[in-house]
Amino acid sequence: MNLASLKDRCTSKNLMSLPITDLFQPFRLGPLELANRIIMGPLTRARAGKGDVQGPLNAEYYAQRASAGLILSEATQISQQGKGYAWTPGIYTDEQVAGWKLSTDAVHKAGGLIYAQLWHVGRISHPSLQENEKLPVSASAIAPQGKAFTETGFVPFVTPRALETDEIAGIVADYAHAARCAKTAGFDGVEVHSANGYLLDQFLRDQTNKRTDRYGGSLENRSRFCLEVMAAVCDVLGSDRVGIRLAPVSAANDISDSDPWGTFSYVVEQLNQFKLAYLHCVEGQTIGPRDIPEGFFVKLRSQFEGVYMANNGYDLELALKARRENLADLICFGRPFIGNPNLVEKLRTGEPLLDAPRETWYGGGAAGYTDWPA
């Protein structure tokens, strides 16, 4: 779209003064041709059925949002052990694969593309969500502050069990199995969730990793698990269909690090060996102010030898600025996609966005899920 037509269709005076943007133009991501640079971020909606299986309603939801350049699925557990919230989907059984295929087929029929986000929550769980009510696992036996979302409501987190060294290879294999399942289900690629205080993040950060084996202590050791997972998933799908999500300065799920820059600059440098499809960074807190250390993500992006996807609190003005100043290749929008299935077109034309109330975000049926006007 040229500047003249953008001016004709846009209702916002300040946006009309902005230069021509490539935000709405196609973008090559590995073997995929994205229709635009606007990414639908992973949004937990807690609407999976029995057996953590997705169904026709979920397929309708994703198909409605297929105009995004790429959809990142809601976080999807790689095993029963990886589950941390009620009614979230899995991608490790035949039934779950069949359920997800409804969504991938619907998105592809609508002209879209979709990645699966692979997830193990680690300690952000509760025995009631685990097989035989076992303890959740983590890098170390340190309880998080907060409460778990279970089928009977919110309950306090428990102290997790520290994984034994010889158990970690089995979880790496679970990631590889989930990647194979995603391929069978028709996903165009996968994103490994290594952010927001979940299992891989728990190993990366020194607040939650007090191990003394080969997975703890030094930066090399703390990053080993994450890098082994990336190698295994890339081996299944090819690295040009694999991305990773990091949240270096987020305190989500009661996590922190004594040296975020040192930790994550090292991790990003190590990720370059894989030639990934992209690096997806949560810039700041997941809910709340961006509050980013000056220059942090500019420097981090410069260290990554590939496509950089920016996320957190982006609106149209901030997205246009990011592209104008080449601060990111792809812009990820999350919550705006809940109430605006046609978000790309609304951003293109300057139409006001609908703000989905928080009570519609998690659980339930079609209300607040697939009944938003397109």
Q: Which residues are catalytic?
A: 198
Q: At 75, phi and psi to the nearest 5?
A: -55, 135
Identify which of 263, 117, 283 has the alpha carbon closest to the alpha carbon of residue 204: 263
Q: Judging by beta carbons within 10 Å of its beta carbon (0-12, 13-18, 19+), is residue 346 exposed, middle or buried? A: middle
Q: Residue 153 carries which side chain, given as an amino acid letter? A: G
Q: At 33, phi and psi to the nearest 5?
A: -105, 105
Using the structure block, give the residue that is written with the tokens 């989907």: 89
Q: What is the distance between the alpha carbons of residues 249 and 300, in angstroms, rounded to a whole number? A: 12
Q: Would strands 147-150 and 153-156 be described as parallel, antiparallel, or unpaired?
A: antiparallel
Q: At 84, phi and psi to the nearest 5?
A: -135, 0
CA distances from 140 to 124, 146, 164, 171, 289 (A): 13, 17, 10, 16, 29
Q: What is the DSSP string of 97-140?
A: HHHHHHHHHHHHHTT--EEEEEE--TTSS-GGGSGGGPPPEESS
Identify which of 301, 217, 235, 247 has the alpha carbon closest to the alpha carbon of residue 274: 235
Using the structure block, give the residue that is written with the tokens 């069978």: 184
Helices and strands (DSSP H and E) totals, the chain: 12, 14
